[in-house]
Structure 1
Amino acid sequence: MLERHQSLYQFGGDLQEAHSRNPYSPETIDIRGAGDFHAAQSLRSALDLANRGRFDEAIALCQEAAELAPGYHEVQRIQGFIYEISLSYSEAFDAYDRARDLAEKSPFVRYFYGKFLVNSGYNPGLGLTELQRAARLDPDSSEVKIAVAEAHSQLGNFVDALEVANAVINGSSAGDSVCREAMSLAISVSVKGADRARGKSDWPKVAELVESTLASLGTVSKESLTVFDLDKLMLLGEACLAGASGSGDDYVARRCRDFADELLGIRRHRSPSHIDRRIGHIKHMNIEKGFAFIISNGERYFLHASQLLQREFFDSLSANSLVAFTPGPAPNEGQNPRALSADWLD
């Protein structure tokens, strides 16, 4: 009996330590005290079962945990997470809502609730509200701020999203990996915002978004930029060039041209060969045979699924999907040139 008691306390202590290290991981468990150890043990087993796709058994264990520790918010939060990954969104919403009511001052519960609402599309507006409340409860958390920025982006609030992402990048407490994540997010947000502004011929807005992104790029190491980041910067450069030629305001046109040159310089500095990259749209594809054709600047390129940087995305491509790639030679006379190292940009 004593040995089992000691083992339980060791297990509970390990769970507490894991949560302290990474409180915003859905796999860690927030423990209020020793009285939660038995319930937390069941919840840990429930998470293990859920990760193996045994969702009904996992929920049953959560219900056992609820009997062991009535009113324990993590029971409802983990139930919500299990329902979420099993795509049972209505049940997930109810469980997360109960968890929030049981722990109104927990930034972790509000974070997970908000992320679910945004990522699932169940209620992104409410998700943003929950994430903003989490940020007020834990103002030093970069994870929460990034989630707030992502929510703003999903709702089309691109300027707000950039502002939050830039705050993370420029925050003294953010680590290198967090800064890289925030920088990639800022670039993606800027691309989305610039694309929308370009569609409205709102060239001052394009310039504003790109200028903000360039300011943040000036604070990070260019070596941290990935191929995907550089491909996105190429898209921003195209938006700037469109503004340079399309704006009737000489000042705005000049700014757009200068920004396009600066973006090109960043790409060249990070990877000289990236200058050869192209952007195109999927024109035709054959999923069963694993190939597609890309149209770029009026030229037709052959893309084999093996040339996608992330092969698993091939089945998600469709007509007009936007891709970046490196042009390669045609293998034989009369055949289309190849698209190499392709990246899905949508």
Structure 2
Amino acid sequence: MTFNATRLTCFALISAIETDARAAWIEVQAGHSLQLPENKKSKAADRLAHDRGLGARVADESLVDYLDFADAHELLLANKNLLGPQLLDSLSEVAGRLGAISRTRNRVAHTRPLEIDDLPLLHDVSQTLVRRAPDSWATTQQTLQKVSNDPSSVLGLTIKLPTDPIDEPFHNLPVPDFDETGFLGRAAVLRKIKRYILGSWPAISILGDGGIGKTAIALKAAYDLLDDPKSDFEAIVWVTAKNQALTVNEIERISTSIQNSLGMFSEAARELGATSNTDPIDELLSYMTEFRVLLVLDNLETATDARLREFLREIPRGSKVLMTSRIGVHKENDVKLDPLTFDESRALLLNLAQGRNVKLLQDLDEAGRNSLIEKLKGHPLYIKWVVSGVQAGRRPTDMIASNQLLLDFCMSNVYDGLGKGARRVLQSMQVLRGVRYQGELAFVNDLNATDIQKYLLDLMRSNFVSMTHASGYDSDAGYEVGDFAHQYLAGKQPVQDDFRSRVLSKNERLMELSLRMQRTSAQAIRRYDPLSVDIRDHHDAPAARLLVRAIRETKASHLDRAVQTCAEAHALSPGYYETRRVEGYIQTLRRDYAAARTAYELAVELASGPAKAIALYHLGSFLDVEGVEPWAALAAFSDAARLDPDSCAIFLRIAACQFVLGNYLLTLGSIAALIKKSPTSEQLELAFLLCLRSIVFGSEVALTKGDIAAGLEIIETGLALIQDFSQDRFGSISDDWLIHISDVCTRFSAASVGSSYLQKQTEGLAVIAQSKISRAAESGRVTGLIETLPVDQSYGFIRFRSESLFFHVNDLIDRRDWRQLQLGNLLAFEVEFDPSKGRSRARKVRALL
């Protein structure tokens, strides 16, 4: 096994410190006839047996060679009265870091990944010991000088330290290349990967650009699991299909590399002891069935084929597969590896520069260093490649300006695996830089939702494109080509002029369509119209165009086709609330009320900002149909009003809900709020009629309950509110309602006998009502309730005072009201004597519903 200079330097310093510590103990032991304590003797004997075999025997004094620094430190301090002051001072100085030293020693001795502080810690401890007691730490002093004068002097060393026997799974994990700096950052991602491995997922993939650090974090996770008590793996097998290596000047092919998945399976089976000529996949699955195996497949993008996908479907329970790849393999739990943070990039650059003694990078001022780090994009391989280039005599600016070699290494084999459709979408994203959305990419590439989704998934799996969200905008995912990918494509796959022109032309058409639809939806009068489609930005336009088509299809009674068109729009823009809102409208027309309600509720969930008021309004309108759920409708309208307090449409619907719920004073209050805004003439008419209905029905209910005060309050509030309307525009309709209000006041007066105050109040209200009747004197109109309405007949009878007056459907001013009439409905009419019948009847009948 080959080790790098960092690990070998750590070993050299640990070995030197322990040599000096053992020598100090031997000197104390010899001078005072001390014996090695039994616990230390037993520990050393176990290490001897682990090193040489169970039958090995040595003299007791030779067991000292199997003491580590922690053991020697403990023995010496236990006899501190026998130590010289300098030696005692040096041991006391480093006592607080003894635990850290032991952990570093274990990582070196047991070939575990080094941490970033391991080498600096050993350097500092060594220097402290030598400074405090140079005579006692002579070997350590010599080693420090040797390493300082010639860092390469450690390269010939063989790591061999006395170690305790450990119970660990079989493994063939290689020494990680991050030993040079220690494993940096990504603690949260590392925890997530280990949680997935120990969880229920049989296969986990670590995905990312070439050189982003996938192999490093996979190795770190695997090494951590060797010592994790929660892990029950009996073997951890590492197989890599890495087939090339990046140097400063070229991409070197690895001639012995594994070329396909069958080669990876064969290598894994061989590591587990297979010797037969049977199918390596069957043999590997057999081992993974009998033993709990963690199989790590590294650089899988070079060996992805049908055999691999079949293998992943057959992973036995208890065993797991961890993969690193630039391309997703399907059927696995993905962990996308993002670039390093700025601070992590800075630490990596500085550690490499210091470890390799690259003065140019060490001596950069803060501004220059920060500028360089920004240009390296948090890419670990890019950082290492630039440091190697500077170490070889090149300038950092030259390395960054001429980075095509790095880009080829990271991206070329991934691009070669893309299909024609995915490449076309990728090229369109080269033309239209920045975050782009599924709908607009489908539009400029003339693709349907199914195809654009497939191609974008391919691009994300290849890591050319990443998914992002515009903060605070909406729930639709955007897609963006990464900086590395853009640089690679610009150099190796530039966009042809004719394709660029076509994409830009299509994009211009999309912008024109968007502006036209935005102008339409922005009109206040159409804002809450169910047939108007709200559009937030140009990327909504392709889906909005489909929704307009769906609405046209409903007008042609093609409701099923309209639902399918909505589904296509939703697939293009899954986060666009109007795709659900229009679906709710269409499902209502289809009378599939359960589907309609679900669609409207999903629209509310998707909408944000001003759009949420629209979604809530339409949900409320659906719930308010025929007064089925007026309380839920009222809640939706109230939420919408808080978001859009200037909307007359919302306040009109709130007033209507309050009326249905019998909250007549609140109805009048909502109408009062509405008329202070800027209602249309149609909204004013509806509000005026609702005001009259609230006065009539509210006062009638109060009179029935005998609540005179409440009834008079409703009448007084309503009549005061009528002052704010121009009654001339409503004509005889308002007269009929006011006639009945005047009659109600008369009945209130009769019911108030015994209270002169209430009688005067009702008489005054009756006068006010009469004064607002424009043609009462000449019309002679009165009101009454339907008394009889025979089934399947075209006539009925009205109770007017003590009479029962006949009326026919042809007597209705608006014959469309006939279908709505029920017993007890209020009607306004004129009384006319019918000579042929010898009795009075009703004429010019108006339903006051």
TM-score (norm 1): 0.90
Q: Distance in 1 between matches of 2:529 and 2:826?
A: 32
2:788–2:796 contact (8 Å) kept in structure 1 = yes
Asked if the contact 2:727–2:734 (Cα under 8 Å) also holds between the matched residues in 1, the reply is no
Over the aligned positions, Cα root-mean-square deviation in angstroms equals 2.4
Structure 2 matches for 1:93-172, cutoff 5 A? 93-105=597-609, 106-169=612-675, 171=676
- Once the two structures are superposed, what CA deviation does each residue of 1:176-235 show, in whole Å capped at 9, x if it has no partner? 443333222111122221111011111111111111111112222220234333222222
Range 280-289 or range 194-203, more displaced: 280-289
1:172 to 1:66, Cα distance in 2 relative to 1, 3 A? closer
Query: What letter matches 1:240 in structure 2?
Result: C
In structure 2, the residue matched to 1:13 is 515
Equivalent residue for 2:758, pick from 235, 252, 270: 252
Query: Which of 827, 831, 835 lines up with 1:327 in the alignment?
Result: 831
1:1-346 equivalences in 2 (<5 Å): 10-21=512-523, 22-105=526-609, 106-169=612-675, 171=676, 173-247=678-752, 248-267=754-773, 270-272=774-776, 275-286=779-790, 288-330=792-834, 332-346=835-849
Counterpart for residue 200 of structure 2: none
* SS of residue matched to 2:813: coil
Based on CA coordinates, which of the two structures has the bigger radius of gyration?
A: 2
Shift of 1:11: 4.6
Distance 1:200 1:116 in 2: 32
CA gap 1:343/1:10 in 2 versus in 1, 3 angstroms: farther
Q: Which has the higher contact order (CA 8 A, sep 6+)?
A: 1
State the secondary structure of the residue aligned to 1:236: helix
The structural deviation recorded for 1:246 is: 0.4
CA spacing shift, 1:302–1:13, aligned 2, 3 Å = farther
Output the CA distance in 2 between the equivalents of 1:251 and 1:157. 26
Indicate the SS of the match to 1:45.
Answer: helix
2:595 aligned partner, one-letter code: E
Q: Distance in 1 between matches of 2:550 and 2:652?
A: 28
How far has the Cα of 1:87 moved from its partner? 2.9
Cα distance in 2 for partners of 1:98, 1:197 equals 41
Q: Whole-Å Cα distance in 1 between the matches of residues 553 and 570 of structure 2?
A: 17
Q: Could you tell me how far 1:320 is from its partner in structure 2? A: 3.0
Gaps of 5+ in 2: 1-445, 447-501
Q: Distance in 2 between matches of 1:207 and 1:233?
A: 15
Aligned equivalents of 1:11 and 1:26: distance in 2? 20
The one-character-per-residue Cα deviations of 1:270-316 (angstroms, maximum 9, x if unpaired) are 22457511212223335645222323122333322122122122122
Question: Cα 1:339–1:151, aligned 2, differ >3 Å: closer, same or farther?
Answer: same
Contact kept? 2:510, 2:538, Cα under 8 Å: no
Sequence identity (%): 27
Change beyond 3 A, Cα 1:52–1:286: farther
Q: Aligned to 1:133, what secondary structure does the other structure show? A: helix
Q: Helix, strand or coil for the counterpart of 1:337?
A: strand
8 A contact 1:111–1:130 mirrored in 2: yes
Decide whether aligned partners of structure 1 residues 65 and 235 sit closer, same or farther in structure 2, where only a CA change above 3 A counts: same
Figure out how many residues of one structure are paired with residues of the other and give that number: 342
CA distance in 2, matches of 1:318, 1:214: 28
Distance between the aligned counterparts of 1:196 and 1:211, measured in 2?
15
Contact 1:142–1:168 (Cα < 8 Å) also in 2: yes
TM-score, normalization: structure 2?
0.38
Give the CA deviation at 1:340: 2.1
Greater helix share, 1 or 2?
1
Secondary structure at 2:789's aligned position in 1?
strand
Cα distance, 1:329 vs structure 2? 3.6
Which segment drifts farther, 29-38 or 44-53? 44-53
Alpha carbons 1:197, 1:203 under 8 Å: kept: yes
